[in-house]
Structure 1
Amino acid sequence: MKLLLLNDSPLLNYGLASGFSANDDIRFLPVHLPNWDNLFEDLMRTWKPDYALAEGVSISTVARNLFPLLRRHSLPLIYWAIDDPPDWHRMSRPLARGARLVLTPAKECLPLYQREKIRAYYFHFACNPSFHSPRQPLPEYTCDLLLVANYYTSYPQRKVGIETILTPLLRGEFKLNVFGNEHWLSNTDHYTLSQNIYHGYLPYARLPSAYSSAKIVLGLHSVTNSPTMMSMRTFEVLGTRAFFLTHWTPAIEGLFKNHVHLVWSRHPDETLELVRFYLKRDDLRAKIARQGQEEVYRNHTYHQRIESIRALIEKK
């Protein structure tokens, strides 16, 4: 298979691309480059891919120019609607109309695409064992609790996780490090972190080292009522064999077992109890972290995801 990826995001570069085999020809042409359209034309003259693939908002600003180019060269688009379900109306539906196939991590969106006569398939995030794996702990990331997440005001349900997982841990009882965008320092919600907790934006390449250096890795989800949609960090954290504490969602309970693969909390007080308990139990943290890694390596790798749709996309 010959596939043209229209973005070079970490999700594609470190994640999805790893799922293809050595026989597949995968190339990147990020549409955020200023001369992407000229590069696209040059590439079409020298190489004929079977598909182009884009994820989320990556093509939203160039869609008006991109879709005519795809049609001119008869190049079908696979659109990975990673922002389903909250952005289905605003983002996924209009972009999906220009795609040959839509992939969504939210099963509840499949009937919506069907209603629009858009071909869609369930396709979740996963991990890449060659990258999402344990690393040597580094002193600069050593801490009791680690959260790698951006602060968003556009996803109201995300505040459920913040209040459940993060807020009760801000009292200074633990060494807590938070990495993410600068909205943690200033936002319209007036929910801000102190400089001794917030440590800036973490380069994605450093993610496994950071996860491997924390006793407990915390997780937030922007969707709390989906049967399947959850943060991609879930699979990535577990892949690094880190102990993962997140807030309960039906999707988390649907794929993982509490106190077996990870641990979830339903209430701020429960979060405090869980953190205090597990920080004292290195043995249990190590056991659960190992079982979580085994689970995602067994059932949730990008190679498995690609193989699940290979026959579908090779048919065209």
Structure 2
Amino acid sequence: MRILALMTFDIFRNSLGASLESLGHEVRYLGKFDAELLATTIKQFKPHMIVDMGWDIWHVNADLRSIAKVIKKAKLFHLYFAEEDWLHFARWSKRYCEIMQPSFVLTRSPLCIPAYRDMGIRATYFDVGCNPSFHARQSVHPSYACDVAIVANGNFTLGEIRYKSVYDLVLPLFDQPYQVKIWGRDWSGIGRFYPGRKAPPSFLQGKLPFDKTPTVYSSAKICISIQTCDDQLSNRTMDILSS
């Protein structure tokens, strides 16, 4: 099957995209585009279906209504993976689906299925996993070797339990003699959310390209995955276990 994947982020291409490829499908990726380029690509590639997921850059930068018209005119099956459900259903998935009207939705939360049905969209539960061919065990890399590794943006007040997850799992490390490395945004400003606390400068490693995450997970003695919701495990939990 020829699948046109409207995906910008490497994390999407190396997860759902790569999984579709591993099943033998021919996948072409389109990240930065407009309605005209999409129509041209459809005409040239002749896909059997369109796939996209989560929150992507093109979801904001593109004119969703014009993109939806192109897909509808081509009479293509459109599969959308609502990876941000339920946390961002009202803020994002609902709005997106009201405009795009995908043929079918895979949602991370069973709680959202009735809402999709109310919009006239078929949906089923589909959780995240990992790509074991990408998140595979690697040799220890000296640049990433440490006692404890954390790969996550702060987002300290997001969801039900993220604040507590950081409080319980990360803050105690600030006072311990372990070699800790933290990759991601927001950590230098942690004191605004946890008064009196400051991440040691030696901990902060800045941004990490997604393709380096398996190396980090393989090089650290302990990897911590921060959780956000009571009823879901983060993607990174699966990736860490696979690496």
Moved more, 86-95 or 115-124: 115-124
Distance 1:100 1:189, change over 3 A: farther
Which secondary structure state, in structure 2, belongs to the residue aligned with residue 17 of structure 1? Answer: helix
Question: Using the alignment, how far apart are the partners of 2:180 and 2:79 within structure 1?
Answer: 40
User: What residue number does 2:68 align with?
Assistant: 67
Partners of 1:153 and 1:189 within 8 A in 2: no
Return the offset for 1:235: 1.0
Aligned: 1:4 with 2:4: yes
Structure-1-length-normalised TM-score: 0.69
Aligned positions, number = 233
**Cross-structure match for 2:26:** 25
Aligned residue in 2 for 1:173: 177
- Partner-residue secondary structure (3-state), 1:160: helix
Give me the whole-angstrom Cα distance separating, in 2, the residues matched to 1:170 and 1:2. 50
1:193 Cα offset (Å): 2.5
State the match for 1:203 in structure 2. Answer: 209
Map residues 133-282 of structure 1 onto 2, 5 A cutoff. 133-153=136-156, 155-157=158-160, 158-181=162-185, 183-186=186-189, 189-191=192-194, 192-224=198-230, 226=231, 229-240=232-243
> For the residues of structure 1 that align with 2:191 and 2:67, how far apart are their CA atoms?
34
Paired residue secondary structure (2:39): helix
- Identity across aligned pairs (percent)? 27
Please tell me the residue identity of whatever aligns with 1:104. T
Are the equivalent residues in 2 in contact too, given 1:145–1:177 (CA < 8 A)? yes
Contact 1:107 1:122 in 2 (8 A): yes
Q: Secondary structure at the match of 2:106?
A: strand
Provide the rounded CA distance (Å) in 2 between the counterparts of 1:90 and 1:147. 27
**Normalised TM-score (structure 2):** 0.88
Question: Per the alignment, do residues 80 and 15 of structure 1 end up closer, same or farther by CA in structure 2, a change over 3 Å counting?
Answer: same
Amino acid at match of 2:75: S
Q: Which residue of 2 aligns with 1:51?
A: 49
2:164 & 2:38 partners in 1: Cα distance? 42
Letter in 2 for 1:207: T
Q: Which residue of 2 aligns with 1:109?
A: 112
Q: Measure, in 1, the Cα distance between the counterparts of 2:121 and 2:182.
A: 39
CA shift for structure 1 position 230: 1.9
Q: 1:166 to 1:106 in 2, by over 3 A?
A: same
1:219–1:22 CA distance, 2 compared to 1 (3 A): closer
Secondary structure of 1:136's aligned partner: coil
Structure 2: 5+ residue stretches without partners: none
Task: Report how far residue 187 of structure 1 moved.
Answer: 6.3
When the two chains are superposed, the root-mean-square deviation of aligned CA atoms in Å is 1.9
* Corresponding residue of 1:36: 34
CA 1:189–1:236: 2 relative to 1, 3 Å: same
